[in-house]
Amino acid sequence: MADGREILWFDDPGRAPRDPADLVDRRDLPRVEPASQLRYDALAGEWVTMAAHRQDRTYKPPADQCPLCPSRDGRLTEVPSPEYGVVAFENRFPSFGSAPGAPLPEPGPVPQAASGRCEVVCFTDDHDTPFSRLTPARARLVLEAWADRTAELGARPGVRYVFPFENRGAEIGVTLAHPHGQIYAYPYVPPFPQRMLAHVAAHREATGENLFDTLLADERAGERVVVAGEHWTAFVPQAARWPVEVHLYPHRPTPDLPALDEAQREEFAHLYLDVLRRLDALYDDELPYVAGWNQAPVLESDGRSDARLHLRVHSIRRAPGKIKYLAGSESGAGAFISDVLPEAVAERLRAL
């Protein structure tokens, strides 16, 4: 890109090769020089990232000024081509710096450089087509992009965890309406997967079994399954924190996105679209949600062999026009209190 960032095109099989001359970013942009810091919260045992430069990121532009649409009709955007299938590029306003090879952060009171990588993944060049209305072929192409970027980013020095995710909807806080997600390559294992893997390790020590596998078997035999295929099951977890929450697990123990086989990839594209369309039908409106891939950390010392790939989708909408806010108990004490029964949500989604 004009400021030195990397961009990659992912195209449908059989498409003619692109002419490199048509992929030139002709904007005059200063180079991106993020100055993020990592600071360690010793009481919580967690890293906090300071990224003050993100205060100036693009905020809710009108559709005709969307920076994620293709460059056409004389208007130059982040994607220097008149059309595209799926693109991935370095975020112009990243939470982490892009300099590879920085040493892994060490807990302590001194702020440290937040090395890593943040990428944007645009699912389609159509500004008004959300993921739930993509074709299965396009959903499969997005999955291929996620897998490719996971492998590439996980191989970068200093990266310990790769997290592809999508935020959808103004209620979630999305500032760009174009259908897109992001991928964060962290220089540490984030708190949530770190806690999960600690419990999984303890369970293996006590029982010799993998807790992920045990939970999946229990859910597949229960009443909270939303939809199931030959290779994947989508279910509402028995201890769902959010008003609407669905997890998607592959049946074969799989550590991360690159490890998915052909059959898993093909079925996922159809089953995930089925789930998203049920979610949109729940309140006859496009449901605001966060969808994030939990997968194996890069290092074996962080519990890679115990990890199991799965996708978690959750929404803060608890009823039409009503939001579940994280107030005193949730944000102050970290104790979730749910307003709905998971079994009731699963039954409604199955019926749609």
Instruction: Quickly tell me which residue has 């959903």 as its tokens.
Output: 139
Active site residue 310: no
**CA 135 vs CA 123, 132, 140, 141, 314: distances in Å:** 11, 9, 9, 10, 22
Q: Rounded to a whole number, what is the largest CA-CA distance in the chain?
A: 64
Q: Which two three-digit tokens encode residue 147? A: 């897998």
Q: CB-side exposure of 147: number of CA atoms within 13 Å?
A: 19
Which residue out of 53, 127, 178, 180 is catalytically annotated? 180
CA distance 166 to 170: 13
Query: What SS3 string covers the chain?
Result: CCCCCCEEEECCCCCCCCCHHHHCCCCCCCCCCCCCEEEEECCCCEEEEECHHHHHCCCCCCHHHCCCCECECCECCCECCCCCCEEEEECCCCCCECCCCCCCCCCCCCCEECECEEEEEECCCCCCCCHHHCCHHHHHHHHHHHHHHHHHHHCCCCCCEEEEEEEECHHHCCCCCCCEEEEEEECCCCHHHHHHHHHHHHHHHHHCCCHHHHHHHHHHCCCCEEEECCCEEEECCCCCCCCEEEEEEECCCCCCHHHCCHHHHHHHHHHHHHHHHHHHHHCCCCCCEEEEEECCCCCHHHCHHHCCCEEEEEECEEECCEECCCCHHHHHHCCCCCCCCHHHHHHHHHHC
Could you list the active site residues? 180
